[in-house]
């Protein structure tokens, strides 16, 4: 095992800047999967579980969603919420039991609501309730991607070290090119955020600047 005194951010930026770094690349058609951009995770100052990495994250997500709709490509939003007895959270909901705990994000609660800054088209966009980290786990996402014949999955939301990573691994495992726009994902601490961006970059996905994702979408118009 290598050891270092560098921060997770320094390591990430060093690897990202490597001109010989190999990429999976974009495919022919993509889906935009926005993972859990709900108030429990976005309302910093209101909920202990919330976090912000880039203050313009929601703006970038909205911009990407608009471009996808223009192309007629699928836009997906996921959120988590659980039953009153939390039995649908399984073992994941047993480690702690405080008002901030995952399994205590209840249906129709403020924590379960999407961030007010988001521009969700409730007619054209798909909205999925998920219970576990991956957006693929026991949701209709896989069927939607097969129907739309996409080969590329673009992920936004949070957290980078949790649901983004889990979804990216599942996406790759299902044979999709997976893209993570850096400014569109967030985590509680920069160490978790950049360490997982590094791992995604090296193994499971391409981590790109959101501007490069937008350029690719513009070329498809």
- Domain annotation covers residue 175: yes
Residues 6+ apart with CB under 8 A from 83: 106, 107
Say if CB 156 and CB 34 are below 8 A apart: yes
Give Cβ neighbours of residue 193 (< 8 Å, ≥ 6 apart): 8, 53, 159, 160, 161, 185, 186, 187
pLDDT at 83 over 90: yes
- C-alpha 201/C-alpha 182 separation (Å) is 11
The model's pTM:
0.97
pLDDT one-digit tens code per residue, 94-124: 999 999 999 999 999 999 999 999 999 999 9
Q: For the domain that residue 126 is a member of, what is the CATH number?
A: 3.40.50.850
Catalytic residue among 8, 163, 169, 213: 163
Into how many domains does the chain fold? 1
Residue 138 belongs to some domain of the structure: yes
The whole-number pLDDT of residue 76 equals 99
Please report whether residue 54 resides in a domain: yes
Express each pLDDT in 10-52 by its tens digit.
Answer: 999 999 999 888 999 999 999 999 999 999 999 999 999 999 9
Asked, for residue 216, whether it belongs to a domain, the answer is yes
* Domain assignment of residue 46, given as a range: 25-220
For residue 43, indicate whether it is catalytic. no
Has residue 11 been placed in a domain?
no
Give domain status of residue 211, yes or no: yes
């Amino acid at each position: 095992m290598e050891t270092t005194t560098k921060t997770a951010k320094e390591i990430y930026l060093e690897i990202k800047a490597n001109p010989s770094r190999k990429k999976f690349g974009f495919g022919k058609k993509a889906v935009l999967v926005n993972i859990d951009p709900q108030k429990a995770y976005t309302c910093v100052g209101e909920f202990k579980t919330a976090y912000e990495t880039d203050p313009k994250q929601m703006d970038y997500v909205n911009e990407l969603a608009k471009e996808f709709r223009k192309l007629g490509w699928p836009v997906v939003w996921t959120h988590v919420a659980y039953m009153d007895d939390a039995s649908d959270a399984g073992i994941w909901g047993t480690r702690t039991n405080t008002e901030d705990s995952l399994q205590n994000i209840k249906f129709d609660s403020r924590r379960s609501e999407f961030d007010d800054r988001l521009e969700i088209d409730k007619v054209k966009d798909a909205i999925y309730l998920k219970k576990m980290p991956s957006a693929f786990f026991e949701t209709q996402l896989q069927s939607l991607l097969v129907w739309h014949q996409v080969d590329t999955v673009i992920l936004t939301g949070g957290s980078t070290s949790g649901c983004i990573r889990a979804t990216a691994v599942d996406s790759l495992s299902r044979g999709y090119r997976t893209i993570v726009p850096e400014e569109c994902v967030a985590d509680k601490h920069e160490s978790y955020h950049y360490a997982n961006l590094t791992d995604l970059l090296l193994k499971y996905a391409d981590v790109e600047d959101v501007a490069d994702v937008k350029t690719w979408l513009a070329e498809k118009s």
